[in-house]
Amino acid sequence: MGSFGVIKSIRAPNVRFGARHFQSLRLMRLSRYFMPIARETPKEAEIVSHRLMLRTGMIRQEAAGIYAWLPLGLRVLTKISAIVREEQNRAGAIEVLMPTIQSADLWRESGRYEDYGKEMLRIKDRHDREMLYGPTNEEMITEIFRAYVRSYKDLPLNLYHIQWKFRDEVRPRFGVMRSREFLMKDAYSFDLDAAGSRRSYNKMFVAYLRTFARLGLTAIPMVADTGPIGGDLSHEFIILASTGESEVYCHKDFLSFAPPPADIAFDDADAMQAVVNKWTSLYAATSEKHDAAAFGALDPALQVSARGIEVGHIFYFGTKYSLPMKAVVNGPDGKEHAVHMGSYGIGPSRLAAALIEAGHDEAGIIWPDAVAPFAVGLANLKVGDSATDGACARIYSALGKAGVDVLYDDRDERPGAKFATMDLIGLPNQVIVGPKSLGEGKVEIKNRRSGARELISVEDAIVRFGGAA
RNA sequence: CGGGGUAUAGCGCAGCCCGGUAGCGCGGAAGUUUUGGGUACUUCAGGUCGCAGGUUCGAAUCCUGCUGCCCCGACCA
């Protein structure tokens, strides 16, 4: 009872000072959270990321290829999106938000309403007008652009949004890895000519390298088919994972390339080109573009043949939309020019699954620090014991004040259940507070990825994870 | 869109062949026990047996139709 009061005293100030919203993003007591963990593996899940996302209560399937994101999953999705957003902004792209529902007329302008086929979900509104749930937004962004931009002086321009899309896949599968509804970041660049568009393309190329590196992933750009959108310059960014969906081939040196630094000059076209040149200088191809002879010419020790997951795709497609949709600007020559465009996609919802494919073991998920739903899992092995309750309260409060995301397992559960839960949900760091070690003034900290454990004092643990002693 | 499965408690499954009014494990609630790697036991709650027809005295079970979901392939961020 007394210990319960200690815990409550942490929450009380949050409410009193109106900081509950902020605090609740940082701190969560498991006994008050909504994290429906399943002990058994759901039968429909085939691949490991899907299984773990269902088991940890990150997502719930509502229909084939359509998922609700539950709190734990939403935290990951939000963190992924935040990193994507930061790197888009850094590269000079500007955020907008376009609707999910679009008018069929817009798509008739580009000719794609007829071409797109059954993957497009077509809807009629109450006035019998033809609408659709957007599978992508080239038409709409072109419409927005042409409504306002008249001069080459307003170029280059790159607008992006992060929005839900729908593609009525014949056979959705692998959970959010290949769902019908999915969250997508799409950037669209506008330039006066092909050379300008190439510069915009390069910036996104560099931004993507940074984005995936920050997510803890090694993503390799590979020459790609241009697909239904068309165009002649395109790269897929592929991460290597043993459970990947397709076969990929690349030069081993890619695995040790350093990503571009945060302070790289995005306005320096030469610097951008140099990065792109470096990352396209070695062999890398998906199975569709694979050249067995060229690959075979490499030193066998440098040949990497692996499974890969596509997590990003960038295209240059020139005037494919600007011509039919009349997105033109006046150039310095006084004449009208159809703008050259490119589009650049990253799927945060797919990335959540891809990150699990790339980071898990028998016990569960292993999140990279950057997107872990919480940075620290705090396990009280004996709830109700005044010593462990007090130590946990101290750690919980100190880390919360320091802005560290902490999930506090204050449930009245067996230690074994708490260890299993912590390992399953994959928080990078665990602080284990039990009567045994606390008797010597210590708590155990465990690194989820390495499995390394250490016995240190409560104050040292606080400092270790970013709090002030 | 072809091919193959499957649908019974929140989850995983048995029962169906051979019709007689539903069961097991996990999870949930209450309790005893245990207290550093999903503890053991007791009790309890929880089910329109996917939907609609049909056969039958009687259907989870047999027949017909429909739908959802999953897997393989083709397709795809």
Q: How far is the CA of A426 from the C1' of B37 (A)?
A: 16
Interatomic separation, CA of residue A207 and C1' of nucleotide B19, rounded (Å): 67
- For residues A204 and A344, the answer to whether their CB atoms sit within 8 Å is yes
pLDDT, position A44: 80
Strand B nucleotides within 7 Å of a protein CB: 1-2, 11-13, 25-27, 34-39, 68-77
C1' (B76) to CA (A267) span, angstroms: 35
Phi/psi-derived region of residue A391, left when phi > 0, alpha when psi is between -120 and 50, beta in every other case: alpha
Residue A37 to residues A60, A63, A356: CA-CA distances in angstroms?
11, 20, 16
Measure the CA–CA gap between A206 and A318, rounded to whole angstroms. 20
Could you give the CA distance from residue A466 to residue A179 in angstroms, rounded to a whole number?
Answer: 38
The neighbouring-strand residues paired with A236 are A222, A313
Copy the structure tokens of residue A329: 């600007």
Task: Classify A256 as helix, strand or coil.
Answer: helix
Q: What is the pLDDT of residue A233?
A: 82
Tokens 């571009």 map to which residue? A260
In this prediction, residues A392-401 reach a mean pLDDT of 95
A151 touches strand B (CB under 7 A): no
How many angstroms separate the CA of A170 from the C1' of B3?
15
Give the contacts of A1 (CB within 8 A, at least 6 positions apart).
Answer: none
Q: Kindly report the number of other CB atoms within 10 A of residue A128's CB atom.
A: 6
The answer to whether some atom of strand B lies closer than 7 Å to the beta carbon of A446 is yes
Residue A319 CB partners (closer than 8 Å, separation 6+): A338, A339, A340, A341
For strand B, is any atom closer than 7 Å to the CB of A163?
A: no
Ramachandran region of residue A128, left (φ > 0), alpha (ψ -120 to 50) or beta?
Answer: left
Measured CA to C1', the nucleotide nearest A173 is: B70
- Measured distance CA(A405)–CA(A74) in Å, rounded: 14
Residue A354: per-residue pLDDT: 94
State ipTM.
Answer: 0.92
Within 7 Å: CB of A244 and strand B?
A: no
Task: From the CA of A44 to the C1' of B18: give the distance in Å.
Answer: 32
A132 closest CA partner among A100, A108, A172: A100
Q: How far is the CA of A230 from the C1' of B77 (A)?
A: 15
The β-bridge relationship of strands A130-133 and A121-124 is: antiparallel
- Residues above pLDDT 90, as percent of chain A: 80
The mean pLDDT value of chain A amounts to 90
Residues 250-309 of A with CB under 7 A from strand B: none
Q: Which two tokens stand for residue A418?
A: 């708490």
**Residues 187-226/A with CB < 7 A to strand B:** none
Task: With cut-offs at 50, 70 and 90, classify the pLDDT of residue A227.
Answer: low
Q: How far apart are CA A23 and CA A11, in angstroms?
A: 9
Q: How far is the CA of A416 from the C1' of B28 (A)?
A: 19
User: CB of A63 under 7 A from strand B?
Assistant: yes
Give the integer Cα–Cα distance in Å for A81 and A24: 19
Q: Is there contact between A153 and strand B, defined as CB under 7 Å from any strand atom?
A: no
Give me the pLDDT at residue A195, please: 94
Q: Is nucleic acid strand B under 7 Å from A382's C-beta?
A: yes
Residue A360, beta-bridge partner list: A365
β-strands A157-166, A94-95 pairing: parallel
Task: Give the least confident one: A8-17, A222-231, A254-263, A402-411.
Answer: A8-17
Taking the C1' atom of every nucleotide in all shown strands and the CA of A55, the nearest one is: B11
- Nucleic strand B contact set for A 6-35 (CB, < 7 Å): none
- pLDDT tier for residue A159 given thresholds of 50, 70 and 90: very high
Q: What DSSP letter does each residue of A311-348 carry, written as one string?
A: EEEEEEEETTTTTTTT-EEE-TTSSEEEPEEEEEEE-H
Judge contact between A217 and A367, C-beta under 8 A.
no
| Alpha carbons A232 and A315: distance in angstroms, whole number | 8
Report which of residues A9 and A62 the model is more confident about: A62
Mean pLDDT within A316-332: 95
CA A179 to chain CA centroid, nearest Å: 15
- What is residue A21's predicted lDDT score, i.e. its pLDDT? 42
C-beta of residue A142 within 8 angstroms of C-beta of residue A157: no
Radius of gyration in angstroms for the set of CA atoms belonging to chain A, rounded to a whole number = 25
Residue A245 CB in 7 A reach of strand B: yes
Statement: the CB of A62 is under 7 Å from strand B: no
Structure tokens at A365: 């998920």
- State percent of chain A over pLDDT 70: 93
pLDDT at A226: 61
- Tell me if A54 sits within 8 A of A181, measured CB to CB: no
- Asked if the Cβ of residue A423 lies within 7 A of any atom of strand B, the reply is yes
Please tell me the least confidently modeled range out of A109-118, A264-273, A356-365.
A109-118
- The answer to whether the CB of A446 falls within 8 A of the CB of A432 is yes
Nearest in space to A346 (alpha carbons), one of A88, A78, A141: A88
Query: B27 C1' – A39 CA distance, angstroms?
Result: 8
pLDDT of residue A425: 96
Please choose, from the candidates A182, A177, A449, A208, the residue with its C-alpha nearest in 3D space to the C-alpha of residue A315: A208
Residue A4 pLDDT more than 70? no
- Nearest nt to A44, CA vs C1'? B70
Q: Average of pLDDT values for A283-298?
A: 88
Please give residues of chain A from 83 to 122 whose alpha-adjacent beta carbon (CB) lies under 7 Å from any atom of strand B.
Answer: 118
Report the C-alpha gap between A147 and A311 in whole angstroms: 32
Give A443's strand partners: A456
Q: Measured in angstroms, what separates residue A343's CA from nucleotide B54's C1'?
A: 58
The H or E element that residue A376 is part of is strand A376-380
Lowest mean pLDDT among A46-50, A256-260, A345-349: A46-50
Strand partners, A331: none
| CA-CA-CA-CA torsion sign (A248, A371, A166, A102) | negative
> What distances in angstroms separate CA A101 from CA A106, A107, A146, A266, A427, one per listed residue?
11, 12, 20, 34, 37
Q: What is the mean pLDDT of residues A120-146?
A: 94
Name the residue among A249, A258, A342, A257 with its Cα closest to residue A297: A249
The rounded distance, in Å, linking the Cα atoms of A441 and A425 is: 28
